[in-house]
Structure 1
Amino acid sequence: MDVQERVKVGATNFVQGVADHKRRFAFVVLIDVSGSTSRLPDPDIHRINNAVNELIKLLKDPPKDSTVYANRDAIDLSIIAYNEQVMDILDWTEVKDLPDHVEEMRGKGGTHMGDALEYAVDKCIRINEGYASRSITNGMPHIIHLTDGIPTDLLPIDGPAWNAIRAKLSRFDGRTKDLKRANILHFCAPKAYSVKAENGKSGAELLALLTGKNTVLAIGKDMPPFEQLAQFVTVFMDSLIAGGNDDVPESVEDAKRQLPFDETESDPDDELEVG
């Protein structure tokens, strides 16, 4: 079935048959597949599909001396795609049991990023509750969000939709650490900086307003280009788990040290202006 037409509701709280004695780590990969990802002359959707399937390959068969390899039965992965709908591409799965690949995604439709972020947040909350119900210890869940667009369903800023999702995401951005339930990182393609909303702000700037400037990374500038995206995410996860699962900035820097890359030339439009 075409993944664009498949909308799965009520995902499970936790992976069945987990190894209860091990500390578990949950990661959600959230992917923008709106129409802008297929926009010519340089569509991102082919890079996105390649990166997702390369990530699956690397997580399923990681280097034997890696932390990911040692925790293959304790890392739970979920993959979600969105445009005007939110679609479960892969429900919670231990990385050792990942499929060889997922269906090819096609870019079309609007960018209902608010709905997608809320869904991803709720999945993290549910898996936390599932762990707790079985007295399973776990690290902080993480949402890794890949986008090139503007959250059209959240505008205008300070409108009801914006304020509702910002309140929910406040538990993810570190400002309310005592209530924090997960971490989030936004990996933004160049279009997320160059395309502006009616208020003059780019998608990346709007995300920085939602969850903090330090949660937004420019692909090819603050992190490696698309061609190394899967490697970067894998090394980031490995460093994060090895370091105790909570120091996101240090794990990002560690991944950058392990995967050196040539930064793209800085463009004034790429600079985040928050406020």
Structure 2
Amino acid sequence: MKRCAKFEEPPSLTTYRGAKPEGTWDEMRDDPFHGGQQAARDTKATLVRGQRCLCAFCEVQIASDCSPSAIESRKSEQRVEHFHPKSDTVSPLNWNLHWPNLWAVCLGGSKQDKEEQEEVLFPLPENLSCDAFKGYLIEKGIIPESPEGWVLAPNELPTFPLLFKFAPDGTPEPHLENCAATIIPNHRYADSAEFVAKTIEHLNLGCFRLNQARRIVRAQLEKQIKTARERSPGASPDDVLLSLARRLLSSNVESPWPQFFSLLRWKLGAAAERHLQEIQFTG
């Protein structure tokens, strides 16, 4: 999980909210009037572009690039998450259409292929993740319906330092040293490390399905590092990693971040931190 940047709210959402201030997300998505259907499409596309094509929670790619056609072609793999429940009608704020409350996410394993092998590999609910697993825990009464303070929101994570590291099997874990140096306000736990650990748990970011995918990405990166070193025998190890960081973690805001950004960032270490500082990384 990484801090996610956002572009400005799309004008069509602003217009719709002005016309239907008490409208729900589902009403807007199905509304042929007031520009509702276009506002829903613009909202999701703008979120995906701002997040540079990564799910706000698990960091899988939900579009191949940030172009409208690429985002549209994979619309069935994306949805809009309301971090604070849109069912909350007690608050004067309409959480349904509140731009800071909206994030683009994957389906969290909730719609698997129906082939027998897929069901054997990734049985549910233990392979749900992201908002799908958070919703499952809320339904079971394990966490409250309003997750603030129990689960990190994407905009609560700092850009620096990285608060995650990864076990050999792909499981994300709190980076204890960095967590100890970071104060995250307004949470329910003893310290930032526990907040990070509970977020991993409550979003099920260490499920087998995601860990398997992370192991593949990690192996690919290790192969890239080895190849880069072989092709630059006179270069220092730090320079090799910095060159890779610059290539993999592009400063172009219109290009997608690589899948499992935080894993790559952690594996590239100080070189990634230097590069991200240079490009004034904000999420």
- TM-score, normalised on structure 1? 0.29
Flag the structure with higher strand content.
Answer: 1
Flag the structure with higher helix content.
Answer: 2
Q: Tell which structure's C-alpha radius of gyration is larger.
A: 2
- TM-score, normalised on structure 2? 0.28
